[in-house]
Amino acid sequence: MKTYINLLLGLLLIIIPTITDAEMEGYEIVSQNNKENITLYGKKMNGLYREFKINFKGATYTKPFWNSESSPTYAPQICCIDINNDHRKELIIPLTLGHGSGVLLEDVHVFHTMDNRLTEVIVDNPLAIIYKNVKTKLTYDEAEIRIGEKDYKVDITPFDIKSEALFDDIAFGSIIDYEVMNNNLMVRVGGRISPASSIGDIIITYEYKNKMYQAKTIDFIIDSNKNPFYGPV
């Protein structure tokens, strides 16, 4: 009997890793957080990672529709921190969808982690937030941004933009950059007045409200020295 039990245990030790390897066949490790025991896997296809899987503390969650660039410079970060003051850590994973000259497009996924289980929570789209809450106007001399009772005006004459290159209005969306700062989920959305001219960033700080993450504050920052996304302020 003892010999049989030892043989059975030996087989289990061999079989269990084999099953795990089979589940991850064709996948690469995209990012890890060893402290929290979280690993993100993806299949590399045509320069992108697709068909993600999250191994969260031993349990595997499949995210077949996620996409992210495969460049190590833009690898997804795994952040575990309390961003809604519930005294539990949330899992935050930003994914880079594309980048280039004057372009950085990210998506973000936020999970609540009650009882070591993952539940994904909706994060309001930053462009939808802007279109609902920000009024803009662009002339040959000035860009105007109104957020609630706040008015921002930017003299654009120093940009010396040719009339044919000037947009009809301030355009948002070429920069969508998520970060977690001071236990807050935040996003930077760049504002452009021409293909080559940026006038500043909309900064949105999220809060958890009505079972989703939505805008708590919306600000427009012109001076990069006062922008938290560019370093300490």
Mean pLDDT of 195-199: 95
**With contact defined as beta carbons under 8 Å apart, do 187 and 126 qualify?**
yes
Burial 89-105 (b: 16+ CB within 10 A, else e): ebbbbbbbbebeeeebb
- pLDDT, one tens digit per residue, over 122-176 is 999 999 999 999 999 999 999 999 999 999 999 999 999 999 999 999 999 999 9
Q: In DSSP terms, which residues pair with 198 in a beta bridge?
A: 192
- pLDDT, one tens digit per residue, over 36-57 is 999 999 999 988 999 999 999 9
Say if residue 2's pLDDT is above 60: no
Spatial distance between the Cα atoms of 70 and 46, rounded to a whole number of angstroms: 9
**With contact defined as beta carbons under 8 Å apart, do 105 and 98 qualify?**
yes
Dig out the tokens for 25 from the structure.
């066949």
Dig out the tokens for 19 from the structure.
């099953």
Spatial distance between the Cα atoms of 57 and 59, rounded to a whole number of angstroms: 6
- pLDDT, one tens digit per residue, over 74-99 is 989 999 999 999 999 999 999 999 99
**With contact defined as beta carbons under 8 Å apart, do 229 and 201 qualify?**
yes
Say if residue 62's pLDDT is above 80: yes
pLDDT at 9: 36
Spatial distance between the Cα atoms of 85 and 211, rounded to a whole number of angstroms: 14
pLDDT at 25: 81
Spatial distance between the Cα atoms of 68 and 97, rounded to a whole number of angstroms: 5
**With contact defined as beta carbons under 8 Å apart, do 134 and 146 qualify?**
yes
pLDDT at 19: 32
Q: In DSSP terms, which residues pair with 171 in a beta bridge?
A: 192
**With contact defined as beta carbons under 8 Å apart, do 205 and 215 qualify?**
yes
